[in-house]
């Protein structure tokens, strides 16, 4: 009989796939990700929870993962919670309460903090969930919105169009480095640091604020009104920082995607275009957040183009004012 430690070592990382739309089954999205009209033989099945195998093979690494169908939070298990490194949720954008049906999943995601968070729909709908509503929800919960069949496609005249649909989902999953990763020769250092930056959300959970103290204020401290004002300001700053971190992580993921492609002129030009976009975005941030944002992006770009880590050890962390 195997020990618990041995069983833990055998668990592969999983991509949890769920759908709150009764007309769209999780298996349909898995087939699109695998680019197949049929599903592979499941490696495991427990009632409505099913594990499908997938080997990710790109320029940097190979990794065996599981695409795990979990129709509701009631079907979560310790095994899934331990192995989940990506979360993909499909919702019905044609109904007004489409996003509300995802509410049961929010505490699960916040607790487990998977590195990849993707919200999927067929396309946003003015009569249901609008683009603005979906994007605000994603900013609040650090997800990326992906439409499988967007109404507005990238401009054909754009030399560097953004990826859309299932292609974008695959890119985001390839930009992650999984616990089962086997790095290919020559790519150990650059992509390793990139993955650590993308996973910063996992290492620094978004909802890690200390719980409010139940003790009464000591003599000479702030009044209740002053204390509430201070607490609200701190919470506001924390929430704002979380949104900024989420946006930065998504930007870094795109940098990873660009450096994971073929080293051609188009990718090189798009890389610098993306960096300019990120610089423009950072210019509107408060001073301290702008410094942290700039440091993350600079490190990610430097390592992505093959720079040595010891050459950026002196980069400011934002702690020296």
Residue 306: φ, ψ to 5° = 95, 10
**pLDDT for residue 224 is more than 60:** no
The answer on pLDDT for 61 being more than 90 is no
pLDDT surpassing 70 at residue 294:
no
Strands (E), 98-244: 116-121, 144-147, 182-183
- At the top level of CATH, the class of 14-183 is alpha beta
Contacts of 135 (CB under 8 A, 6+ apart): 145
What tokens does 233 get? 């300001």
pLDDT value of position 58: 86
Query: Sorting pLDDT into bands at 50, 70 and 90, what band is 176?
Result: confident
- 3-state SS, residue 239: helix
* Res 2: pLDDT: 45
Residue 225: the pLDDT is 46
Per-residue confidence (pLDDT) for residue 210, from 0 to 100: 38
Between 213 and 52, residue with greater pLDDT? 52
SS3 57: strand
DSSP reduced 3-state for 268: helix
Tokens of 67: 């695409």
pLDDT for the residue numbered 104? 97
Q: Domain ranges in the chain?
A: 14-183, 243-311
What is the arithmetic mean of pLDDT over 58-78?
Answer: 94
Q: Which of 250, 268, 273 is nearest to 258 (CA)?
A: 268
Distance separating alpha carbons of residues 32 and 108, to the nearest angstrom = 25
Picking from 129-143, 173-187, 233-247, which range would have the lowest pLDDT averaged per residue?
233-247
Tell me the pLDDT tens digit for each residue of 147-161: 999 987 655 555 556
pLDDT confidence of residue 273: 66
The share of the chain scoring above pLDDT 90, in percent, equals: 44
CA 313 to chain CA centroid, Å, is 26
Percent of the chain with pLDDT over 70: 51
3-state SS assignment for residue 50? strand
Q: What is the pLDDT of residue 46?
A: 95
Mean pLDDT of 136-143: 95
pLDDT above 50 (res 82): yes
| Long-range contacts, stretch 308-311, CB < 8 angstroms, 24+ apart | 308/189, 309/189, 309/193
Query: Who wins on pLDDT, 286 or 240?
Result: 286
């Amino acid at each position: 009989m195997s020990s618990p430690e041995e069983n833990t070592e055998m668990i592969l990382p999983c991509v949890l796939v769920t759908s709150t739309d009764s007309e769209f089954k999780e298996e349909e999205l898995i087939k699109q990700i695998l680019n197949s009209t049929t599903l592979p033989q499941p490696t495991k099945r427990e009632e409505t929870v099913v594990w499908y195998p997938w080997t990710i093979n790109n320029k940097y690494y190979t990794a065996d993962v599981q695409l795990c169908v979990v129709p509701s939070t009631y079907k979560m298990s310790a095994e899934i919670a331990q192995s989940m490194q990506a979360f993909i949720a499909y919702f019905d954008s044609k109904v007004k309460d489409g996003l509300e049906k995802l509410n049961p999943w929010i505490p699960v995601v916040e607790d487990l903090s998977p590195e990849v968070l993707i919200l999927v729909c067929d396309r946003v709908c003015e009569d249901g969930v609008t683009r603005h509503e979906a994007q605000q929800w994603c900013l609040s919960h650090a997800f990326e919105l992906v439409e499988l069949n967007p109404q507005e496609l990238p401009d054909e005249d754009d030399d560097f169009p953004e990826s859309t649909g299932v292609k974008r989902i695959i890119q985001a999953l390839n930009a992650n480095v999984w616990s089962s990763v086997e790095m290919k020769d020559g790519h150990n250092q650059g992509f390793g640091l990139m993955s650590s930056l993308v996973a910063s959300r996992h290492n620094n959970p978004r909802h890690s604020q200390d719980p409010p103290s139940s003790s009464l204020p000591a003599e000479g401290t702030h009044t209740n009104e002053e204390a509430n004002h201070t607490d609200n300001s701190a919470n506001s700053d924390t929430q704002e920082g979380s949104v900024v971190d989420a946006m930065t992580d998504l930007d870094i993921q795109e940098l990873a995607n660009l450096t994971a492609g073929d080293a051609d002129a188009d990718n090189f030009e798009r890389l610098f275009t993306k960096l300019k976009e990120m610089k423009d975005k950072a210019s509107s941030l408060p001073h301290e957040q702008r410094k942290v944002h700039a440091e993350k992006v600079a490190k990610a770009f430097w390592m992505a183009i093959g720079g040595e880590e010891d050459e950026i050890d002196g980069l400011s962390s934002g702690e020296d004012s």
